[in-house]
Structure 1
Amino acid sequence: MSGLFFIRSAGEGDLAAVSKIIEACEPRAPRSVQNLKADLKRPDSEFVVADDGRQLGGMGYAAMAKEETGVVILHRLHVSGNLTGQGIGRDIFAELETCFPDAKRMRVEVEKADEASQGFFTSLGFAEIGWAKQGSDRPHDAEVAILEKSLVF
């Protein structure tokens, strides 16, 4: 049984555990601790974890788009497999969507074959705006759905 998870900013001490969460959720696109350190230090970004005091149950990372004003890119949102379905992903997203006051839209890329993730993001208010042959965050060739959500309330 898991405890109550709190969403907080990630620190360097979290990165080994975060790397394991990413590798378990997305084995074809792992992130090294060194790469995660660069993400952690990137300006105009937010890197959060779900922590119950004993373990990290998930992570999220988003950053303002460099090429497009007013758009924040949700690069990663992962929940440890044994903890899915408990609202941790929704809590991580709820934190991230409030961290970018200048953003008008949030965008995420999801592999077309991953219907569960597409359904999750649709339930959060995202809508498909297109698709691409290869996602910007993926080192392998993948067909991805591009989803967006308005952040103007």
Structure 2
Amino acid sequence: MFVRTASERDLKAVRDLLVETWHATYDSIYGAERVTAITDDWYSLESLKRRLERPNAEFLVADDGKQLGGMAFATVDAAGTSVMLNQLYVRPAFQGRGIGGMLLDEIIESFPDATLFKLEVEEANARAIGFYRLQGFVQSGRTANCGAEQSGIPALLFERRRGEVGR
């Protein structure tokens, strides 16, 4: 796998990866019908294209030349010092192979002036929480609306300062 910037030709494969990963991760938490509704809304091709074109953002994919194994999307504030990791997903069949760490490292390198990296994670997603803790993130709070205003999806907030790494 190699990490590269996403392009418009990747969007269908990114959507497929997100739908597969969300169903594998969240069907047992939210139910398949709600996961389908969320992915249809948040990860439509139009929504992904808007992310791709967004200024002050980085949209990455992990690619083995045949298929995408993961993706990440992050945005930086106007000052360039605080990054929100909006998405980091690894296809279930590729989890545990270092792809998430490669994507996260590339996101961090993409914002050299940033000193703070933040994210939201579903509190029932123990695997993701474990991954982020290993990467040096610490819980900093909670939100009632993960991913979008009025989503009604509670999540834990995590953050990491530049230079802090996992153990």
Please give the TM-score of this superposition, normalised by the length of structure 2: 0.82
Q: 1:139 to 1:36 in 2, by over 3 A?
A: farther
Secondary structure of 1:58 counterpart = strand
Deviations 1:22-63 (A, max 9, x none): 112224232011111110111111001011111111100001
Q: Report the AA paired with residue 40 of structure 1.
A: L
Structure 1 partner of 2:84: 73
Residue correspondences, number? 148
1:11 aligned onto 2:7 = yes
Secondary structure of 2:72 counterpart = strand
Q: 1:23 to 1:8 in 2, by over 3 A?
A: same
Unpaired runs of 5+ residues, structure 1, are none
Structure 2 partner of 1:48: 60
Structure 1 partner of 2:22: 26
Structure 2 partner of 1:82: 93
Matched residues in 2 for 1:15 and 1:138: separation?
A: 24
Paired-residue identity, %: 34
1:4-153 residue pairs with structure 2 within 5 A?
5-27=1-23, 28=35, 29-30=38-39, 31-65=43-77, 70-137=81-148, 140-152=151-163
Contact 2:3/2:103 (<8 A) preserved: yes
| Shift, 1:136, TM fit | 3.4
Matched residues in 2 for 1:138 and 1:60: separation?
A: 20
Matched residues in 1 for 2:149 and 2:69: separation?
A: 23
Deviations 1:109-133 (A, max 9, x none): 0011111111111110000000111
Matched residues in 1 for 2:55 and 2:100: separation?
A: 23
- Structure with more helix by fraction: 2
RMSD of aligned alpha carbons? 1.8
| Shift, 1:104, TM fit | 1.2
Unpaired runs of 5+ residues, structure 2, are 24-34
Which has the larger displacement, 19-28 or 113-122?
19-28
